[in-house]
């Protein structure tokens, strides 16, 4: 019987890490997940959900821990999902963001090289639409492609651009199998509540159950190309199964404002006018905003056969349904 493929996921405790672990375990992989910190609160949750996943302790800023993680997992496929990933947080923590989201990529690539794994390891780098910037003089037209101009608008976007280019450089310099997925916003039940979509669906559920009065938000006009995370991790995996390493945009080809998201989310609980429930919170404003993001996934669709199953209304609907179920259960357990 053939040996199972072995995958190492960094950022396994994050949104995409959970979806990807689920997919790879279902595909029969032996899955290893890098978990940071001496007492990470998400570790127990991860092990409860995926008992067959092997946790390896390590941190993208600690090169020796990455060497050990590669030696222990002996992974054929490495998915680098770990990052400081919140754009607002990156403005307040720019050096940390550069160290983890930027230089962390280099640390992991070097660890692959110095352990002699360059030729037998396929590497996925989690690049992002935040590299495009989406502002007046670099607007998306019919959608950003793999060849569009980059103009990042945050320490996060700048750090990701370094990660993107160092990954491409290692592909070109050392012939390594490295693919970069330029992923537009993707959301779902596993999304952190620090991101606007989940913050809204969590609040909508609480408001409808009388457990919260309003929601504090920043800018409501920015537009994003929002897809479902489960569809996007399938695309990541497809990139590493392809015959050649390359860069691919994953997006829906549609863009919607935060106001659009609010309208659909509140409608799910029968509230037609969301305005009385939303307050402006200056603390959520960023020093520079990304006005509009829209991606063109044609290359991934034609070369990889990637497609998305969940559309924008379907995404909002499943997130609200999930948060309603979570909140109802919590209310239930508190009822005497």
Edge to edge, the sheet with strand 6-10 lists 54-57, 30-35, 6-10, 77-80, 122-128, 177-183, 247-250
Cβ atoms of 47 and 24 within 8 Å: the answer is: no
Q: Identify what 36 binds: ligand F7E, ligand NAP, none; CB under 5 to 8 Å per kind.
A: ligand NAP
By the rule CB under 6 A, 186 interacts with ligand NAP: yes
H or E segment at 203? Answer: helix 196-208
Query: Which residues on neighbouring strands pair with residue 178, listed in sequence order?
Result: 123
Is residue 289 flagged as an active site residue? no
CA 9, distance to chain mean position in Å, is 13
Is residue 32 flagged as an active site residue? no
Angle at 41 between CA 37 and CA 47, to 5 degrees: 100
| Shortest reach from residue 184's CB to ligand F7E, in Å | 6
User: Where in 11-70 is the site for ligand F7E (CB under 6 A)?
Assistant: none
Q: Say which DSSP state 192 is in.
A: -
Q: Which of 151, 190, 199, 242 binds ligand F7E (CB under 6 A)?
A: 199
Is residue 137 flagged as an active site residue? no
| Shortest reach from residue 238's CB to ligand F7E, in Å | 19
Nearer to ligand F7E, 7 or 200 (CB): 200
Q: Binding pattern to ligand F7E, positions 220-249, x when CB under 6 A?
A: --x-x-------------------------
Say whether 52 sits in a helix, a strand or coil: coil
Specify the stretch interacting with ligand F7E by CB under 6 A; choose among 38-46, 134-142, 218-226, 269-277: 218-226
Cβ atoms of 255 and 292 within 8 Å: the answer is: yes
Specify the stretch interacting with ligand F7E by CB under 6 A; choose among 34-42, 215-223, 232-240, 298-306: 215-223
For residue 187, give the nearest of 286, 298, 78, 312 by alpha carbon.
312
Residue 157: both structure tokens together: 């976007």
Nearer to ligand F7E, 63 or 222 (CB): 222
Nearer to ligand NAP, 11 or 222 (CB): 11
User: Where in 55-84 is the site for ligand NAP (CB under 6 A)?
Assistant: 59-61, 81-84
Cβ atoms of 56 and 32 within 8 Å: the answer is: yes
What is the contact surface with ligand NAP in residues (CB under 6 A)? 10-11, 13-17, 34, 36-37, 40, 42, 59-61, 81-85, 100, 126, 128, 183, 185-186, 192
């Amino acid at each position: 019987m053939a040996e199972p493929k072995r995958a190492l996921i960094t950022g396994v405790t994050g949104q995409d890490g959970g979806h990807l672990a689920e997919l790879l375990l279902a595909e029969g992989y032996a899955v290893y997940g890098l978990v940071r910190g001496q007492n990470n609160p998400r570790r127990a949750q991860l092990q409860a959900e995926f008992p067959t996943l092997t946790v390896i302790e390590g941190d993208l800023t600690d090169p020796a821990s990455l060497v050990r993680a590669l030696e222990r997992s002996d992974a054929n496929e490495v998915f680098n999902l770990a990052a400081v990933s919140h754009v607002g947080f990156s403005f307040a923590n720019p050096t940390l963001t550069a160290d983890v989201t930027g230089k962390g990529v280099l640390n992991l690539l070097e660890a692959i090289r110095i352990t002699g794994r360059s030729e037998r390891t396929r590497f996925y780098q989690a690049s992002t639409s935040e590299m495009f910037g989406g502002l007046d003089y670099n607007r998306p037209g019919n959608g950003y492609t793999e060849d569009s101009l980059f103009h990042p608008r945050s320490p996060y976007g700048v750090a990701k651009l370094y990660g993107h280019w160092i990954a491409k450089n290692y592909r070109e310099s050392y012939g390594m199998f490295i693919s970069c997925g330029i992923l537009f916003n993707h959301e779902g039940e596993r999304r952190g509540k620090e991101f606007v979509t989940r913050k809204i669906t969590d609040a909508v559920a609480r408001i409808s159950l009388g457990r919260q009065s309003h929601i504090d938000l920043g800018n409501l006009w920015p537009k994003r190309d929002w897809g479902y995370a489960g569809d996007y991790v399938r695309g990541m995996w497809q990139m590493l199964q392809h015959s050649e390493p390359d860069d691919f945009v994953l997006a829906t080809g549609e863009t919607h404002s935060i106001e659009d998201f609010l309208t659909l989310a509140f409608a799910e609980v029968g509230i037609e006018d969301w305005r009385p429930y939303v307050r402006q919170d200056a603390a959520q404003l960023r020093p520079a905003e990304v006005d509009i993001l829209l991606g063109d996934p044609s290359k991934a669709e034609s070369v990889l056969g990637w497609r998305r199953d969940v559309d924008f209304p379907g995404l909002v609907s499943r997130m609200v349904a999930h948060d309603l179920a979570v909140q109802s259960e919590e209310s239930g357990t508190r009822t005497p």
